[in-house]
Copies of this chain bind each other. A is one copy, B any other.
Amino acid sequence: MRLSSYFMPTLKENPIEAQIVSHRLMLRAGLIYQTASGIYAWLPLGLRVLKKIIKIVREEQNRAGAQELLMPTIQLADLWKESGRYNDYGKELLRISDRHNREMLFGPTNEEMITAIFRDSVKSFRELPKILYHIQWKFRDELRPRFGVMRGREFLMKDGYSFDIDSLSSKRSYNRMFVAYMKTFTRMGLKAIPTRADSGPIGGDLSYEFHILAENGDDTLFVHRDLIESNWKNRDVDYDSDLQFIIDEFVNKCAVTEEKYDLTKMTNDIIKVHGIEVGHIFNFGTKYSKAMNAKVTGSNGKLVELEMGSYGIGVSRLVGALIEAFHDDAGIVWPESVAPFRLGIINLKKNDSCCSAVCEKLYNDLGDDVLYDDRDERVGVKLTDMDLIGLPWSIIVGPRSIVNDRVELKNRKTGEYQELSIEAIMKRFAT
């Protein structure tokens, strides 16, 4: 993409309404635009990040055996009356009447709808187990939306649901998602810490929250050093095997939030850290299948209530959480896997035909994931903007080094510059 024609409205000043760094940087770098309280449009640069996150979430869900579908945003209130949640949910539920005065709502989650779909479609234990997920916009009418996309009203969530014949099988589905979540967040460059959680109003007794570490995270966690140091990056997982041994690695060394912190159950080497919740998994047994009469025929021919779990990832929230985890005074510092572009090119002197020719060549040859700053702007503005939007690498093409066929490569994270030949650059970044 050529920056001269790209729709990337950056701000020079810090927007006063933004209280936290990720919100500030998302507005300043032109990732989002606020259209109403707690509701945002994703501008092209922000949408690119969102899509890279979606891709990773999707790939890891599929790898773990989950299947993608897509449920609508608007739901019938009747479904929520079946489960009993229509009255329980309170004012965060956006209630809607259609032109025939039918009660509807903008879904904040989809347990009821997926249970209804499953109940009507699957009749026998032979079709189990199944994990179904979707990635869809949700609405939660927060009393005081704040922190940008971290606590917005319209937000993008990946929510998955498992259906099993018995609790043993259901625990295996739950374990798959546990492991898939660790892999998902790790691929985004994040350090994820699973903490045992209250299952809350959703019911059931098996629940984990996933926090990612960030210095200014809202939540305080106590984490064993082993977990901080463990490396999930290249961990191979056979999802068809029993994954319980992996979950067991977290027991008691596992992090817990302050109120539940029980030192006696933990070994030494506990570190106090801060985190942001980005995922939540529940195994809630037959809560919804019982209320909504969702049964299949078991192997003995008798009807059995489905054992279910639900698994959420805050997809749009992750964009904010990533920035909270990865930024410095100059702007965002994207990990490579989720950067809006993997590479920037800065033309220091646009009216130098040699600089421009090299930039054009690099831009044309290095693929689609490149942002080329071809604007007629001062050098300082270009370098500052590139730091602000935080691409992992930028190639700086200036008249001094270009006479020797060399350019500079800047590492956004370390701030280091390296002079390299054009050939070496091509080799390194060729797709």
A interface, CB within 8 angstroms of B: 5-7, 9, 30, 33, 35-36, 39-44, 47, 50, 65, 67-76, 91-92, 94, 96, 98-99, 102, 104, 106, 113, 116-117, 120-122, 130, 132, 137, 139, 141, 143, 153-154
Contacts and interface: CB of A to CB of B under 8 A. Distances in A.
A149 B378 CA distance: 52
- Could you say how many copies of this chain the assembly holds? 2
A364 to B, nearest CB: 15
A418 B30 CA distance: 56
A6 B65 CA distance: 10
A35 B116 contact: yes
A113 to B, nearest CB: 6
B67 A41 contact: no
Nearest to A118: B7
B71 A47 contact: no
A36 B70 contact: no
Contacts of A143: 99
Nearest to A143: B99
B41 A71 contact: yes
Given A91-B99, A94-B98, A143-B99, A72 B33 contact: no
Contacts of A7: 67, 69, 121-122, 130, 132
B72 A35 contact: yes
Given A50-B70, A96-B106, 4 more contacts: A7-B69, A41-B70, A41-B71, A73-B137
Nearest to A375: B126
A43 B72 CA distance: 11
B47 A70 contact: yes
Contact of A94 (B36, B67, B96): B96
A36 B74 contact: yes
Given A6-B67, A9-B121, A33-B121, A137 B40 contact: no
